[in-house]
Amino acid sequence: VAEQAGFAEWDLVYQSRSGAPRDPWLGPDVNDHARALAERGVRRMLVVPIGFLSDHMEVVWDLDVELDKTCASLGVELVRVATAGTHPALVAMIGDLVSERIAGRVPLARCAPDCCKLVTSPGRPPASSRA
């Protein structure tokens, strides 16, 4: 994303937990990273929440409240790129994917015939066996 937008320098950081509550948080944490950048003299920070499709409460709280507060206390200007949300292109793509799946026309380049059966986590049955 950064390279496509023309940014030569960028860092991958995390805003919150991924996985089960017993699993350690991914790092570096975005707030800790903002502090480290400020110590290096960085005064502007662009955040692109690539792991999220919509501005749900986790994105809003973690970035628009917590990170904004951290950056303000450090004198760092924060700019957050919007998520796709309900953009018509995203909504149309999701509709196309559902229609293709229902009709049995799933392109191999996009999705294997039983790909949803492969998405599992420890202690969780495959998607095909869940109600």
Q: pLDDT tens, 33-88?
A: 999 999 999 999 999 998 888 888 888 999 999 999 999 999 999 999 999 998 99
Mean pLDDT, the chain, as a whole number? Answer: 81
pTM of the entire predicted model: 0.69
Contact between 28 and 74 (Cβ < 8 Å): no
Compute CA 61 distance to the chain's CA centroid, rounded to the nearest angstrom: 14
3-state SS assignment for residue 36:
helix
Q: Are 16 and 5 in contact (CB under 8 A)?
A: no
Q: Please, are residues 37 and 45 in contact by the beta-carbon 8 Å criterion?
A: yes
pLDDT at 122 over 60: no
The pLDDT of residue 33 is 96
Q: Which residue has the higher pLDDT, 121 or 71?
A: 71
E strands in the chain = 44-47, 77-80
Q: Is the pLDDT of residue 30 over 90?
A: yes
